[in-house]
Amino acid sequence: MMNNMKNINKLIAKSNDLKLKVHSQIVRKTALLFLNKMYSDEPSRFENIIKYSSLLHDIGKGTTNFQKYLLGKIKKPNLRFRHNEIGWAFLSKYLSNDFEGREIIINIVYWHHGISNQLNKHTDTEILNSLDEISIENMLQYLIECVGENNVNGDVEFADSTIAPLFYPPNEGNFENKRPQLQLCRSIVITADRISSNLMSISDVNEGIVNQYFNLKNETKITETKFDGTPRLNKQKEIVELAENTTIIKAPAGFGKTIMGVMWSFKYKKKVVWVTPRNTIAESLYLSVLDEFKNLNINPTVANFIEKL
């Protein structure tokens, strides 16, 4: 056991020799700061999922060839499957079925690089059968260290296969009424992993990193607009001034709810995220936002992210 512990302490997550344990702990700390920022009143509601998804998101890098690749001993990992697919397959077999938030955690591990996998293409058995015993042992010892031996399946049945999870799983079974929770936690872990990828020590993680993500880098003031002096713009400004915390604005189409979102972001110096149920609406909204920027005579940065299934 001691030799195995020494081996997993040597596992790396980056080609700069950053240890897998350290990187995962960095992501965990960053993700929990995000969670506290977004859910300051009740962060513990999602804490277990955020914590273990962060610690386990790169467990698939523990394979023999991926370690050789990161160490520069081979030019390519020469693995049929990506590390996030391997991590999911391993956890699908070995993480206890009774572990709190299990299905959400392993979904986050599979999709923590966004939608870049082949949907429902492979099973956990098929993926794990492509690995050598040392790779399995590396991941097993790392999992035990993260969750404890009591939360690891002892008898693993490889004949009982599970197919890779969907990015948007059906609202039934393990995910009944939990899809919003999945999407929230997955977004936090993905963002934490991305913005902390260059950090080398847990001590480098602080609230400033998270605050920079939410805050606007430059102050933008609305001075001259196309609608100056109109009753509608005056009403919009009044509503924006009254808006605090969660605010629901009931107004007809064409009233200018989009432009109020822009004005709200400048009031609090915060980034704004518009979430839409369909890509066609996202594309339409994106063009609408660009038009509103022209009406307000401002030129901030805006990006449109489309999910492709």
Residues 6+ apart with CB under 8 A from 94: 139, 140, 143, 152, 153, 156
CA distances from 118 to 76, 108, 307 (A): 20, 15, 14
Other Cβ atoms within 10 Å of 121 Cβ, number: 11
CA distance 96 to 98: 5
The backbone torsions φ and ψ at residue 95, rounded to the nearest 5 degrees and listed phi first, read -75, 130
What is the model's pLDDT at position 265?
79
Rg (CA), the chain: 23
What is the model's pLDDT at position 6?
56
Report the SS3 class of residue 216. Answer: coil
Q: Which of 125, 136, 114 is nearest to 164 (CA)?
A: 125
Per-residue pLDDT reduced to its tens digit, 3-31: 555 578 899 999 999 999 999 999 999 99
What is the model's pLDDT at position 1?
45
Q: Determine the residue type at 281.
A: I
What is the model's pLDDT at position 221?
67
- Spatial contact of 83 and 60, defined as CB atoms under 8 Å apart: yes
* pLDDT tens for each residue of the chain, 309 residues long: 445 555 788 999 999 999 999 999 999 999 999 998 887 666 688 999 999 999 999 999 999 999 999 999 998 888 889 999 999 999 999 999 999 999 999 999 999 987 666 666 789 999 999 999 999 999 999 999 999 999 999 878 766 789 999 888 888 888 888 888 898 899 999 999 999 999 999 999 999 888 887 765 556 667 778 888 888 888 888 888 888 777 888 888 888 888 888 888 777 777 777 777 777 888 888 888 888 888 888 777 777 776 554
Is the sign of the CA dihedral 246, 252, 258, 263 positive or negative?
A: negative
Domain architecture of the chain: domains with CATH: 2-214 (1.10.3210), 231-296 (no CATH)
CA distance 213 to 242: 25
Burial category of 171 from C-beta neighbours within 10 Å (exposed 0-12, middle 13-18, buried 19 and up) = exposed
Q: Which of 282, 231, 291, 232 is nearest to 262 (CA)?
A: 291
What is the model's pLDDT at position 219?
61
